[in-house]
Chain A
């Protein structure tokens, strides 16, 4: 089983649509979770951390299900500027293990 696995995509949605990305991870001891976005030929940028209770930042909602080892990202009212690759990121260690593992990403294109 891959360490961090994401929907293969690509996703093509019209402006205003709601789109959801899913991600599964293999290590039940994982402690921290993030979503990043990466624009074409640019560096990844932190979109949001994912907390056990779920968290929301404007149009973006992230949820974590530890029992199923599953993370999701929901984007409401999609904008053209949301077009990017979305990376699911998991820290497989705890304490002194500082390494994050990145999923391969899901490409989103929002169309006018």
Chain B
């Protein structure tokens, strides 16, 4: 069966500091991978998605970036965090095509 791992679970960072969140999937090859953000009391916002190694699509302009250096690894980064970057970050995977997505446990990011 497939599993998704996301870490860390909680992160507190100062404004202007860099960010790196990592997500890995096991038990499948060439999954679609996604990064979402959920601000307090709001819906899920798709940030990035990837259909293959090195292929990244960005959904919203922001100071975040994503990379997929390996088939089952997806990384969310920032060079300088803003206060508005606070939120609950979720990584997800799906099989190719119109399949449901499965989420990692999420990272709760607080910017001070």
Contacts and interface: CB of A to CB of B under 8 A. Distances in A.
B105 interface: yes
B27 interface: no
A49 interface: yes
A99 B59 CA distance: 10
A98 B100 contact: no
Contacts of A32: 98-100
Interface string A84-112: 00010101011000111111110000000
A8 B16 CA distance: 36
A94 B106 contact: no
11 contacts: A32-B99, A41-B88, A43-B90, A43-B106, A44-B44, A46-B101, A94-B98, A98-B94, A100-B100, A101-B46, A102-B43
Interface of A: 31-32, 34, 41-46, 49, 87, 89, 91, 93-94, 98-105
Kindly list the 5 A-B residue pairs having the minimum CB-CB distance in the complex, ordered from nearest: A104-B43, A43-B103, A32-B98, A102-B44, A46-B100
